[in-house]
Structure 1
């Protein structure tokens, strides 16, 4: 059963989603509602939803910022983004933070149902986590603040092609050598090794969406060289990006 959180500043929209969908038949249950991103973060902390359906433009904190904070906090919830604005910049920002789907308002109930079903399929397809996913789920309780800050920085900046050990170390205020030592000691991975795994993890999500070409996905996850992205992806998954995408169709 997927736990669903609905975030929209219009109460009538939230009610329409709650009442217009046969949640039980989809294997879902609505566990909470929120009127803006700040309330959404609090509700996500309280209910630990598997799926968040959120508007983009809301007072106090918009949906994109809410997603960014959720990812920094380690949330792996699937997110379906709703917006009245047909703007690729919004879509790109949402996808950067792992949105599973993007629907334009006004939408029909069946469009939302189809998006939810796609999320369920993806959740089931990836329920058997690889070593790569295990790394992304590193328990944070015993990690030093520098390791936690590194994880958060990578989650927020992995799409930046210029990110490297220097920029990461500078952002958290320690030397490159100390960062490398601490991160390797506490996770058994190098910081750049983790960055690569995180990028490929996000690339898998984008490829599974099937709306983007391989070269577009490469750019979205921080690779300027499409060939290098392809070889890295195949090394870690056993499939080329196009082969992986074909299996998700």
Structure 2
């Protein structure tokens, strides 16, 4: 889920963005608002958003100054710039400091939705793994049901309730048969492979540094952050915080 901060000096613009979209349907939540760059920096510290939607021209500190300071501090949140100014120098400066997108006011709702979807797609591409990423030592052709099970896990690993029963039912095969062929062809149990997949995705998310450890745990299907931590350490030799520190 993307945690969104809105930064704009016009209250009606902020209100329009907050109320004008079905944020839950986009797997987003509004965590705060700010009226200028200074307030935006404080809100980032308070709410730790991973998406900031900001105007450029604002009093006290403008959006580009805020973005520059965020990058100086090591913050890597996604940023969408909104502005009424079409001068390309604004866009160039915004992109220089790592803005993901640049929309001219007034913009259509679908333009902002599309910009958010592009960011979500980039995040998904960054963390999407193939079976070879997770099991690089497993060679040879896989049977139909093993490949389908791997693909199912790749699509549903974030579901805390996923298990052998759910996977077998989705494929229309018995649990016993699926367990047998999967272990025979990969040397992993279904749950063992699922765990490996989740931890590999978690490693990519922790390298990104935009997410807190409990958020990563939730994103890869763990309700219990302590259990996630112990599983992560068992497979990597490091706690999630130790791993993230080494990647910074």
TM-score bracket, shorter-length normalisation: 0.5 to 0.7
Q: Which residue of 2 aligns with 1:110?
A: 110
Contact 2:127 2:204 in 1 (8 A): no
- Which residue of structure 1 lines up, in the alignment, with residue 96 of structure 2? 96
**Number of residue pairs matched?**
141
Map 1:198-213 to 2 at 5 A: none
Q: Residue 6 of structure 1: CA displacement?
A: 0.2
Partner residue of 2:11?
Answer: 11
- Distance in 1 separating the partners of 2:73 and 2:34: 18
SS in 1 for 2:100: strand
Give the whole-Å Cα distance in 1 for the aligned partners of 2:105 and 2:31: 23
Give, in whole Å, the separation in 2 of the partners of 1:123 and 1:136.
Answer: 9
**CA–CA distance in structure 2, aligned partners of residues 107 and 36 of structure 1:** 20
Conserved 8 A contact 2:32-2:43: yes
Distance 1:133 1:23, change over 3 A: closer
Does structure 1 residue 30 correspond to structure 2 residue 30? yes
Match in the other structure for 1:147: none
Matches within 5 A, 1:99-178: 99-127=99-127
Gap regions ≥5 residues in structure 2: 129-200, 210-244
CA distance in 1, matches of 2:120, 2:110: 15
Structure 1 residues 85 and 136, CA gap change in structure 2 (3 angstroms): same
In our comparison, the structure showing a higher alpha carbon Rg is: 2
Partner of 2:54: 54
| Match in the other structure for 1:141 | none
Distance 1:135 1:25 in 2: 27
State how far apart, in whole Å, the 1-side matches of 2:39 and 2:10 are.
13
The alpha-carbon deviation at position 127 of structure 1 amounts to: 3.2
Q: Contact 2:38–2:66 at 8 Å: present in 1 too?
A: yes
